[in-house]
Structure 1
Amino acid sequence: MNYKSQINTYVTYFENAESKKECHKIGVEFEHLILNADLTALSYFEKMGIEELLEELAKNNAWEEIYEGEHLVGLNSEHKAVTLEPGGQLELSIIPFSDLKQIEKIYLDFIDELKSILNKWDKKIAVLGYQPASKIKDIPLLPKKRYDFMYKYFKDKGKYAHNMMKGTASVQMSIDYINEKDYIKKMRVGYFLSPLIYYLFDNTPFFEGKKAANASIREDIWTKCDQQRSGTINGIFNKEFGYSDYAAYLLNTEPIIRKKDNELIYTGNKTLKNVMENDNPEEIDHFLSMVFPDVRTKKYIEIRAADALPYPYNFSFVALLKNIFYNQENLDYLYQLSLNYNQEDFLNFNNKMINDKKNNQRSKLIAEILKRAKNNASKSELKYLNKFEKTYLKYGPLKFKTLANLEKGKEKALEWCFLN
């Protein structure tokens, strides 16, 4: 395919994903760390490990088992899917719904399934941004060819690329867009909010077994992962960044892996424009999944800056963003604010929002965003927002709730992050 055809393929893909405002929904992916009693990571291979956990879950006939070779690596059902991240982090993806109550029910029912197994095994369901005790070198890589290729590729990239793969956990939210104009606005606001999300939803009190009291570890990891595919997309604040711009970003990034006839092929340092041969939908979906910026485009816009959060704070995060992105007045307000920044200005803003210990601009902006979200929220959504606001006003970023109680010991301090 020539470059123009490649661009048009992605532009058409994004156009086909447009939806009417009244049809807009929310998709959420929740990642969890499964830990031993001593807070070390439960590995995929050990007895009563991650693979055996999937096998136990699969005894509920509602699940379809997904294998890679002889290894069970995922589960699918009508409304949800379980996948595994490279270090064995367990991710629950729930299909999009318009109502958070539906997502909450599916999520809590799944957690009950997990608890019924893990409580008998004396294992913990921990919801944190990073492993609290294990070091990366001690966590085996999951047996998936995709992850083998990624691990190989990232060996020569950023300092924390392997930490990203095996140590991190997050909650990610997806939102719909009406047309390209709406897409441009939501992408820009998504990036404008990213430093505040990194700051507010920082739930990484420990990094490589040590106390992490400084600014967001998650942001530091992604910044030092692979500059071309993570963090802030270059140039997004210098213009109206539309469908063709995101397509160009993709095509000039190295995809690491391509799919051909259901086989994964390592592409190394070749860019996508030199790899992409056709408009096969499965391959297009795959390439979209191989970049990891703070705000990503697939058939939706995905907000990716938050650490994994324990219930109900994970729903506080979703309720906050829902009442920003799906309220036109709130979206327009933040979009107008974002227009005050070009790329260089935004990078300075990003650094100050995350790293300054005291920042009046940040405090005022957080207060305004929370107020606007609460004014638009339903009664059930307000419950989530009030819970988060109370904790934030007492501790600041969420990880400080753990660190404030560290004199009681690590396990006791982390109790609020254990779901069982």
Structure 2
Amino acid sequence: MDYQKQIESFAIYFKEAESKKENHKVGMEFEHLILKEDLTAVKYSEEQGIESLLKQLSKGNWEKVFEGENLIGLTDKQRSVTLEPGGQLELSIIPFADLEQTKEIYLSFIEEIKEILNSRSQKLAVLGYQPESSIKDLPLLPKKRYDLMYKYFKGTGKYAHNMMKGTASVQMNIDYVNELDYIKKFRVGYFLTPLVYYLFDNTPFFEGKTAASSSIRETIWANCDSERSGIIKGVFDKEFGYRDYAEYILNTPAIINLEEGNLAYSGSTKIKELMENDKAETIDHFLSMVFPDIRTKKYIEIRSADALPYPYNFAFAALLKAIFYNQDNLDYYYQQSLNYNQQEFLQFKNKVINSQENQKLESLTTELFKRAEKVAAPAELEYIKEFKNLYLNYGRPKFKTLNNIQQGKKKALSWCILN
């Protein structure tokens, strides 16, 4: 395919995803860790492992998803369960305008899986990184995509394999009206990323040891693969629209190509050298091979928050929904973001994540809460208030755990264990 046609194919794909403001919804994805009594990770293939958990869970109204003979996921009309490379369990829920609908499905699933885990003396944990197991002790999930990614990441950042096998997050997806709305939301998403990493830092342990410093997940992503993670080059130097994101995708090494529906290792060959058609399947695949802090698919994906227990995971969504889906708030943060070029923003991000300039950081968080509280719907306001209370008492969520570490790791983490 000609390069300009490739760019146009992505631009058309993004334009076709536009929707009217009154139809905007929020999609959510929740990652969880399945742990044993000693807080080590439950492995995929072991007796009473992750695969057998899926088999037990599938006795409900689920459709099974296999790769070869391995059960790797479940799906129904409103939800899907997938597995990350280290066996982390992700629940994705279809988008709703009202977070209360998402909540009903989420909590129903939690009750469903808790009953099975309790019978196995296993735990459902919600935090940003494995609390006890080292990634060297975690086998890779038997999935070809992950095998090929693991191979490629051997030659990139030092924490790429930690990203694959150790981390867990909560993510939200938002809609856009048109390209101008997309440009604003994409840039504001990046502008707020440091605050999201800071406020929703729930990683008290890294490779079994206490991690009291700045966001571990941000450090991991910053040392994963600079060509496909972190901050996209040029986001703060121009109006970054559909074609700019397309060029970012096309000039990124593919890792994996899609050849007649099959995955093939392509290493550092750039996507523009491999893309031969504009089928939705092809575009979807290549869009899934990059992992920046803010990602575009048929929506804008916000990826910076650590996994958090209910209701704090919903506070993340409620807080940002009140910014992105309120025009005054969106415009305010867009104007704030225009004060930074790329280099200045990187300096700003570093200071926020590392808790420097505390007076300015306090002002930023106060403003964020104030703006969100002013416009949030009543039920969503309650989530924000719950999280704000946690933050005022402990600071970043991980300090609720670390402040109680003298009681032992298991007891300190009890608020992040959903059983």
Short-chain TM bin: over 0.9
User: 1:136: which partner in 2?
Assistant: 135
User: 2:159: which partner in 1?
Assistant: 160
User: 1:22: which partner in 2?
Assistant: 22
CA distance in 2, matches of 1:31, 1:189: 24
CA distance in 2, matches of 1:135, 1:269: 28
Task: Supply the RMSD in Å over aligned alpha carbons.
Answer: 0.6
User: 1:332: which partner in 2?
Assistant: 331
- Report matched runs for 1:11-410 at 5 Å: 11-60=11-60, 62-410=61-409
CA distance in 2, matches of 1:270, 1:214: 36
Give yes or no for contact 2:85–2:165 (8 Å, CA) kept in 1: yes
Q: Deviations over 1:296-328 (max 9, x none)?
A: 000000000000011110000000011000000
What TM-score do you get using the length of structure 1 for normalisation?
0.99
Letter matched to residue 4 of structure 1: Q
Q: Deviations over 1:398-419 (max 9, x none)?
A: 1001000001000000000001
CA offset at residue 259 of structure 1?
Answer: 1.5
CA offset at residue 378 of structure 1?
Answer: 1.3
SS in 2 for 1:131: coil
CA offset at residue 362 of structure 1?
Answer: 1.3
CA distance in 2, matches of 1:15, 1:379: 33
CA distance in 2, matches of 1:273, 1:37: 48
CA offset at residue 357 of structure 1?
Answer: 4.6
Give yes or no for contact 2:196–2:304 (8 Å, CA) kept in 1: yes
CA offset at residue 356 of structure 1?
Answer: 2.8
CA offset at residue 261 of structure 1?
Answer: 2.0
Q: Deviations over 1:128-173 (max 9, x none)?
A: 1000000010000000000000000000000000000000000000
CA distance in 2, matches of 1:344, 1:155: 28
Letter matched to residue 176 of structure 1: D
Give yes or no for contact 2:257–2:264 (8 Å, CA) kept in 1: yes
CA distance in 2, matches of 1:283, 1:328: 34
CA distance in 1, matches of 2:28, 2:257: 26
CA distance in 1, matches of 2:241, 2:367: 28
CA distance in 1, matches of 2:260, 2:95: 29
Q: Deviations over 1:235-290 (max 9, x none)?
A: 10000000000000000001211222221011101000001110111111011011
Give yes or no for contact 2:198–2:215 (8 Å, CA) kept in 1: yes
CA offset at residue 189 of structure 1?
Answer: 0.3
CA distance in 1, matches of 2:355, 2:87: 33
Structure 2 gap segments, 5+ residues each: none
User: 1:10: which partner in 2?
Assistant: 10
CA distance in 2, matches of 1:78, 1:250: 30
CA distance in 1, matches of 2:288, 2:376: 31
SS in 2 for 1:306: strand
Give yes or no for contact 2:190–2:293 (8 Å, CA) kept in 1: yes
CA distance in 1, matches of 2:43, 2:98: 35
CA offset at residue 358 of structure 1?
Answer: 4.9
Identity of counterpart residues, as a percentage? Answer: 65
Tell me the matched-pair count.
419
CA distance in 2, matches of 1:209, 1:322: 34
Q: Deviations over 1:106-144 (max 9, x none)?
A: 000000110110000000000010000000100000000
Q: Deviations over 1:350-375 (max 9, x none)?
A: 00010135521111011011011011
